[in-house]
Amino acid sequence: MKKYPRPYPLIAAFILALALVVISGNIIIAKKVVAHLILPAGFLWVLGFAAIFVRGLSRRGRAVLVAGWFLYSLAGSPYVGVALLRVLEEPYYASEQPAEKLDALVLLGGGTGLSPGGRPALGTHGDRLTRPVILFREGLVGTLITTGRSITEAGEDRLLSRETSLIWQGLGVPACVIVEVPEPRTTREELAAVAKLIAKHPEWKKVGLSSSASHLPRALQEARSQGLDLVPVPSDFRSGSLIFSALYLVPQGRGFRDVQTALWEFLGSVM
């Protein structure tokens, strides 16, 4: 009688998926778990787990697979992403609302996108753009300063400062209170240009710096290196608490994005 090899990898994959569904708690979460396991990030995760149980692997080979699977799990974990972002953002939780009026507020480039027709639009980090407008309408900001250009896309450089200015004007901010600084391409260049601009406006006694909360530690560090003492005005917080859920145990786009965002900032602060 012919013997067939036992499908240990398939059994392991099934047990993993079944365990996640069982601990989901309700049918809605269970469906979302199954969907995430079918999507590329989750499917590769299950595939990697199954590979650990392939027969005939050397001890070293299996150890490498286990280590790789755990690293992949951590890299795509929303829990890890939130924890890392919290290290960057928590110092600014209490700074969301300025304690007193700012003579000017600098918004570092980013947060805009373009529609298919080429119209400026709010991007993934759009809260960076709307927060200054809210503060302006609350009477907490005098002049709004927008900086930067994008150098990571094909074709001519996108002037992020111009895109931001147009969106602000569309939201009712008068053009006369907006200052565009389009030349800088990096955070370092932006803060250097801001230092020169502030030197020309001695009437600006108190100036704020606005950006994604996770980017503020590095931006303020760069500002200090330029001799600037700016008031942090954070936005685009992404470190809110997550409930325990089987859904967040599966590596997914949100986790990879947040982990990479945090590690990018940590790396940038030492380079």
> Model's pTM, two decimal places?
0.89
Selection from 180, 253, 268 nearest residue 219 by Cα: 268
- Please report the pLDDT score of residue 125 as a whole number: 87
Each domain of the chain, given as residue ranges in start order, spans 8-87+246-269, 97-235
pLDDT at 25: 87
Q: What does the pLDDT read at residue 211?
A: 94
Please state, in angstroms and rounded to a whole number, the distance separating the CA atoms of residues 108 and 228: 15
The one-digit pLDDT tens for each residue of the chain (271 residues) are 455 457 889 999 999 999 999 999 899 999 999 999 999 999 999 999 999 999 989 999 999 999 999 999 999 999 999 999 999 999 999 998 998 999 999 999 888 888 888 899 898 888 999 999 999 999 999 999 999 988 776 556 788 999 999 999 999 999 999 999 999 989 999 999 999 999 999 999 999 999 999 999 999 999 999 999 999 999 999 998 899 999 999 999 999 999 999 999 999 888 7
Rounded CA gap, 71 and 155, in Å?
37
**Contact at 8 Å (CB) between 268 and 215?**
no
Q: Which CATH number among 3.40.50.300, 3.40.50.620, 3.40.50.740, 1.20.1740.10 corresponds to the domain 97-235? A: 3.40.50.620
Residue that is written with structure tokens 């990030």 in the block: 41
CB 150 within 8 A of CB 116: no
Distances (CA, A) of 168 to 97, 130, 176, 207: 19, 8, 12, 19
Torsion of CA 217, 257, 114, 132, to 10 degrees: -30
Find the radius of gyration of the CA atoms of the chain: 24
d(CA 93, CA 83): 14
Check residue 151 and give its pLDDT: 77
